[in-house]
Amino acid sequence: MQQVREHWSSKLGFLLAAMGSTIGLGLLWKFPYTIAQNGGGLFLVCYFACLFLIGIPLFIGEILLGRHSGAAAIGAFEKDGGKGSGWVWGAWLGIAASFLIMSFYSVVAGWGMSYILMSLNGFYVGKSLGEIGEVYELLSRSGSITMLWHFLFTAITMAIVVSGVKRGIEYWSKIMVKVLLVLLFSLFLFSTTLPGFSKAAQFIFLPDLAHFSVSSVLEALGLALMTMSLGQGIMISYGSYLRRGEDVIRMSMIVAFSVALVAVLAALTIFPIVFSFDIPTNSGPGLVFKTLPYLFAQLPGALVLSTLFFVLFVFTALTSAIPLIEVCATNLMEKLRISRTKAVLCAGIGTFTFGIPSALAASKGMFPEWQSIFRCNFLDTINDFSSIWVIPLAGLITSLFIGWVVDREAMESEFCAGGGELRGVMFPLWIFSLKYAIPLAIVIIMLQKSGLI
């Protein structure tokens, strides 16, 4: 069945959808504790440098590849690389990354949905820090409850994606990203009133050499790739819906600045609360679910603050989950020539089913010996595998493909579209980064993460 290619209705629609994809749980959940573990302000500088020197060029490349081909990841690689070419593995790896991430992302997001209801019921009242931590452990070990939220979050994401680009992805991204930013800014304003705000600002912006190392630079580079939704086929799909003539470079800069701003706001929202009660900053992934609810309970308006924060958490997760399902669905639509409804059902059911072991990981309802054999539970295994291997490898192949294989004149035409004469000067630098700088950086990340260096 021949599919008619949809397009974004406006530049704002594309921008908000792209921002929604990039402003995900990586910024709200992982970024705060990562900056705490890697030298504060010095890590922040490295993260920004990686974001603008590595993240933006590859972000631009993926969007232009999608617009140039007018197709999702597989079609985009096949257009210039050929159907039998090994380059198409870059597309398959990107799709695999989106599939794997969605399978456990919905589990973590489901816990956030549970915490909204728990916050409304004041679950933290009268509980110590340890007791609130035990509530999270109890929730994660409850396979049936985790499965319920895993299913509901996946179903909501599918319901949005099945409506299409304009009526689904674009429409809901416009609403959720705006609400997300308002919630985050409101919580940030509240944090400025706390006694720990000045200490938090110093911690975030001043360098801490004692906790900074070469591995911190590589951590910043990996986080930049993840927070820009790269190596997942997302921006190739989103670029394929973009009309010719739109200034991709300018829009990419806006998205990157938005990511940087939200990263700083998220840290400045969370750490003032942490410092106000002298809680260790290196609480790790449990910071959101174990530490913050206890701290919210010590503040005036605890019910409102806690509920708003976890609404923000779920909205952030949802805006990032939408493109994960979309990548899987749109490639199914193009390869199998099936309807969007069938493609979304296949993608949603597939990620939900594969995510069941992640949902049951803490309860050991499936593969009870997994952690003893593989060092960590199923959810963490899939998370590590996708972030350490699949995403960087997909990003590496994509960068090399655009830099060395895709027709140079076609890319220059796409790069300069919608811009001035300066774009012609910038183009050789951009191509150079895709050919050499970005692949080298990604290879170093993979070698470091694998323990070889």
Retrieve residue 316's tokens.
């952030």
Pick the CATH number of 11-449 from 1.10.4160, 3.40.50, 1.10.3470, 2.60.40: 1.10.4160
Q: What are phi and psi of 122, to 5 degrees?
A: 60, 45
Does residue 48 register a pLDDT over 50? yes
Under 8 Å between Cβ of 208 and 35: no
Q: In b/e form, how buried is each residue of 394-416, taking b as 16+ CB within 10 angstroms?
A: bbbbbbbbbbeebeeeebbebbb
Q: What is the mean pLDDT of residues 271-295?
A: 77
Q: 189, exposed or middle or buried, with CB in 10 Å at 0-12, 13-18, 19+? A: exposed
First to last CA, the chain: 50
Q: With bands split at pLDDT 50, 70 and 90, how would you rate the model's confidence at 3?
A: low
Q: What is the mean pLDDT of residues 81-85?
A: 84
Average pLDDT along the chain: 89
Under 8 Å between Cβ of 431 and 408: yes
Q: With bands split at pLDDT 50, 70 and 90, how would you rate the model's confidence at 349?
A: very high
Non-local CB neighbours of 75 within 8 Å, separated by 6+ positions: 69, 331, 334
CA distance 204 to 165: 38
CA distance 225 to 96: 16
Q: What are phi and psi of 207, to 5 degrees?
A: -70, 145
Q: With bands split at pLDDT 50, 70 and 90, how would you rate the model's confidence at 76?
A: very high
Does residue 336 register a pLDDT over 70? yes
0.85 exceeded by the pTM?
yes
Mean pLDDT lowest for which of 175-179, 285-289, 344-348? 285-289
CA distance 405 to 48: 29
- Percent of the chain, pLDDT > 70? 97
The amino acid at 88: V
Q: Give the chain's largest Cα–Cα span.
A: 66
Written as one string, the DSSP assignment of 89-132 is HHHHHHHHHHHHHHHHHHHHHHHHHHHHHHHHTTTTTT--HHHH
Angle ∠(2,232,426) on CA atoms, nearest 5? 95
Mean pLDDT lowest for which of 39-43, 100-104, 430-434, 443-447? 39-43
